[in-house]
Amino acid sequence: MKMIFLLFLFLSQSLSFAGDFNVMDFGAKADGQTLDTKAVQAAIDQCHASGGGRVLIPAGKTVMVGTLFMKSHITLYLERGSTLLGSPAIGDYSLETHKNRYKNEPHMDRCLIYAEDAEDFGIEGPGTVDGNGHPRHFNKETGRPMLIRFLNCRQINLKEVKLINPAAWVSAWINCKDIVVDGISIHSRVNHNGDGLDFDGCTDVRVANSTFDTSDDSICLQASDPDIPCTNITVTNCTFTSKWAGMRIGLLSRGNFESVTVSNCTFRDIQDAGLKIQMNEGGTMKNMVFSNLVMKNVPRPVFMTFAQQKAAVDAPEEMYPMEQMKGFLFDQIIVDNEGLDKNTAFFVTGLPGHPIRDLSFTNIYFVHPGGGTALDAQKANLPEYTLDVLKGWWPEFYLVGTLPASAFYFRHVEGLSMDHINIQIKNKETRSAVVLEDVKHADVTGIKQNYIPVELGKGIEIR
């Protein structure tokens, strides 16, 4: 009877682990010094040929690799205490990994983990993927590989892992569908352009319970192909720290954007903007909700621009038409910028004849440092984000500079609603709280500054 039980136990364990492929069994040295690319790729290939399963990076081991090619029905599983380490040699990264889709950046074409036309796969586990992307290894001249790039893939999971030290972006997801990102942490500070998650032409994306600390935008939504939208995106329960933006939507925007929600997130110590929403390559952007957000030390809590500019590497010579940007709700947002300078504000601007339409800002608590002067309040004819001003680059705040409004500046907008806005100014401030310039159909009520109601002519200025 005992022998039968032991045999049953042995068979059960064997069956339960039948889909596991340990890279050590394929010849990996896992000493952090030997290049183990062939061994790991052999494990991936065998796992795929066997119908799927897990490729294991074992606990406590450091496995150094160049480019890996992921395949369908495989989970690359990093056990606790394990590290998948990028090689420091650019020659170990394949040239067959598609390309970066921003113009003027071919030095970011290579990557560490690549998949194309794959389905039902993922990267999971409590271990670490370390890009080893220090400037002593990679620069613009050598090339700077991204950590991850997936092209035309679907049913992808990225769960629990720590992603650190890429030489460029952490990840580019191009024309992918059905994506789940849950419980990951990203630390991307050792090199430049350290974006976190970039979803380009992706559909049905769910990002949750994750932490971002990046040297560039933490999450980007993009649409490089005119016929492939970026749609049905949810981001929730995340924390953002960034040298640039927490979330950027647009810039690469030849295609359409629709149905995006961001909720229950915190943003802190952001150098540029918390939510940076920019439409400039001919697509349409609409129907987005941003709610239950807390920001601290975020100069532009919301920065929205509607302009014309070419960002995509495959952009045609002619400039794009301007379609539409409409349907944005911002609700229950706390912003504590007491420790910043006077250049903190919600900033929304279209172009003459091309307004951003149908905006709602409600239930916002904004702690502002003050500091605006009488000269600042009188500023007029601020630069527009036209082609002659942009000079081939992106619509950035510094091109306009200090605003004539302390808290909210809206320009070229049609259909604006504001209610339950509480602004706390900490030092002397001469500028109006709200300035509306070329704004039509505005319903601006329920605004208080230091507990005193703000109204037209006394804190609300129409130009």
The DSSP bridge partners found for residue 198 are 172, 220
Give the position of tokens 């909700």: 289
Q: How far apart are CA 314 and CA 332, in angstroms?
A: 39
DSSP state of 373: -
- Residue-level pLDDT, tens digit, the chain, 463 residues: 454 444 444 444 433 345 999 999 999 999 999 999 999 999 999 999 999 999 999 999 999 999 999 999 999 999 999 999 999 999 999 999 999 999 889 999 999 999 999 999 999 999 999 999 999 999 999 999 999 999 999 999 999 999 999 999 999 999 999 999 999 999 999 999 999 999 999 999 999 999 999 999 999 999 999 999 999 999 999 999 999 999 999 999 999 999 999 999 999 999 999 999 999 999 999 999 999 999 999 999 999 999 999 889 888 888 889 999 999 999 999 999 999 999 999 999 999 999 999 999 999 999 999 999 999 999 999 999 999 999 989 999 999 999 999 999 999 999 999 999 999 999 999 999 999 999 999 999 999 999 999 988 889 999 9
Every domain of the chain and the residues it spans: 17-216
pLDDT score recorded for residue 13: 42
pLDDT score recorded for residue 7: 43
Q: How far apart are CA 257 and CA 326, in angstroms?
A: 11
Give the position of tokens 């998650």: 197
pTM of this structure: 0.95
CA-based end-to-end distance of the chain: 90
Instruction: Decide: 399 and 390 in contact? Cβ < 8 Å.
Output: yes
pLDDT score recorded for residue 317: 81
Instruction: Decide: 295 and 301 in contact? Cβ < 8 Å.
Output: yes
Which whole-number Å values give the CA distances from 96 to 67, 117, 149, 169, 172, in the listed order?
9, 14, 11, 17, 15
pLDDT score recorded for residue 18: 57
Q: In CATH, what number does 17-216 get? A: 2.160.20.10
Q: How far apart are CA 238 and CA 461, in angstroms?
A: 36
